[in-house]
Amino acid sequence: SSQNFSEEFAEAARQLKKEAPRIQFGKIDVTHQHDLRKELNIQAFPTVKFFVNGNRKDPIDCKGVRQASVFITWVKRRTGPSTVLINSTDQAEAIIKAEALAVIGFFREPHNDSVEVFCETARDAPEMPFGMTASEDVCANYGIQKNTLVVFKKGKPVHNEVLEDGRQNKLVLVRLIKTFTLDLVTEYNIETSVKIFDVPVENHILLFTPKNSETFDAIYENYKSAAAEFRGKILFVLVDTDEPRNGRIFEYFRIRDIDVPAVRILNLTSDAKYKMPADEVTVEHLKEFCQSYLSGKAKLHLSSEEIPEDWDKMPVKVLVGKNFNNIVF
């Protein structure tokens, strides 16, 4: 809620006043400040912008940050080093074990473009600790041969991403890393919905199925197996069709009881929806569906009533989703 967000923002301001008094926090009620709202192009609420060195024209957007501790980390990484420099295996282990998640960059050639990309990624992913090392001993201890980003979860490596020479796409890395703040498959409910939309992955796949069905365990395992392959590209979500509070999401996707289990992909930017062509929820079918979507070959799914038999009999034609394109265009 906006109230909770406001409290966390105020708490961050209180804590940073002692540590970094030069950083000022302010709030604007844009319902009364129309000129400011227009100038700063405020579209959604709440919006946080960070102005640096008195530059009014080009503030930095602070997106998806909701907790005071994360606000503080985000600001510190914008005004100082974004990662901790690691010189020993003991230091690396301390960082890896201190939190549930940690990201370490191992660099065999420290003066490399990928170091810069790694540091920029750390600035945009304040939810977890970042460390980097160019120590041969530390790299050898973790069996690292090339410049590599490693995500650790509960002290164990769960993902390795080799950092290619040259300018790697920072946004791709941020998306990948932020998905680790969620489970591999996230069940949709009131609490998780905010987290799901905070992760900057615009492609969501949703499995609609009753959790208490006999086939649920097998279907869920298949879904999880496919999810591992598309981490950072497609966010895997589970929707329990037995949960009455999920009614609105069924309505949005036009899912009926006879359709389940059903699988849909949603593109958040265009609001385009895609239906998995196969009925069986197998690993193979899921992978084929995700690959065809990412390569732009999947067919758009338009929820539609059947075409009425007499649609063409009157001067005003009856249009539904299934004949709209053919008749109008």
Q: Which range marks the domain in which residue 97 is found?
A: 84-179
Are 136 and 90 within one domain? yes
Predicted local confidence at residue 223, as pLDDT: 98
Two tokens, residue 222: 């298949």
Predicted local confidence at residue 230, as pLDDT: 96
Are 214 and 239 within one domain? yes
CB atoms within 10 A of CB 129: 18
Predicted local confidence at residue 299, as pLDDT: 87
H helices of the chain, where? 2-19, 34-39, 68-79, 89-98, 113-124, 136-141, 170-179, 190-198, 216-229, 247-253, 283-294, 321-328
Among candidate residues 152, 179, 206, the one where a domain is terminated: 179
Predicted local confidence at residue 166, as pLDDT: 62
Are 43 and 116 within one domain? no
Strand partners, 187: 238
Predicted local confidence at residue 305, as pLDDT: 62
Q: Is the CB of residue 157 less than 8 Å from the CB of residue 106?
A: no
**Phi-psi region for residue 155, left (φ > 0), alpha (ψ -120 to 50) or beta?**
left
How many whole angstroms separate alpha carbon 83 and alpha carbon 81? 6
Predicted local confidence at residue 152, as pLDDT: 97
Are 135 and 211 within one domain? no
Nearest CA to 229 out of 159, 309, 155, 306 is that of: 159
Predicted local confidence at residue 301, as pLDDT: 81
Is this structure's pTM higher than 0.75?
Answer: yes
> CATH number of the domain that 153 lies in?
3.40.30.10
Within 8 A by CB and 6+ apart from 266, the residues are: 203, 204, 205, 206, 253, 272, 273, 274
Are 291 and 186 within one domain? yes
* Overall domain count for the chain: 4
Q: Which residue has the tokens 């796409």?
A: 169
Predicted local confidence at residue 43, as pLDDT: 85
First to last CA, the chain: 43
Residue stretches of the chain with pLDDT short of 70: 1, 165-167, 302-306, 320-325, 328-329
H helices of 125-243, where? 136-141, 170-179, 190-198, 216-229
Are 90 and 139 within one domain? yes
Q: Is the CB of residue 156 less than 8 Å from the CB of residue 177?
A: no
202 vs 6, 121, 205, 273, 321, CA distance in Å?
26, 18, 10, 12, 25
One-letter amino acid identity for 233? K
Q: Is 84 exposed, middle or buried (0-12, 13-18, 19+ CB in 10 A)?
A: middle
Among candidate residues 55, 79, 103, the one where a domain is terminated: 79
Predicted local confidence at residue 310, as pLDDT: 84
Q: Is 267 exposed, middle or buried (0-12, 13-18, 19+ CB in 10 A)?
A: middle
Two tokens, residue 187: 């069940």
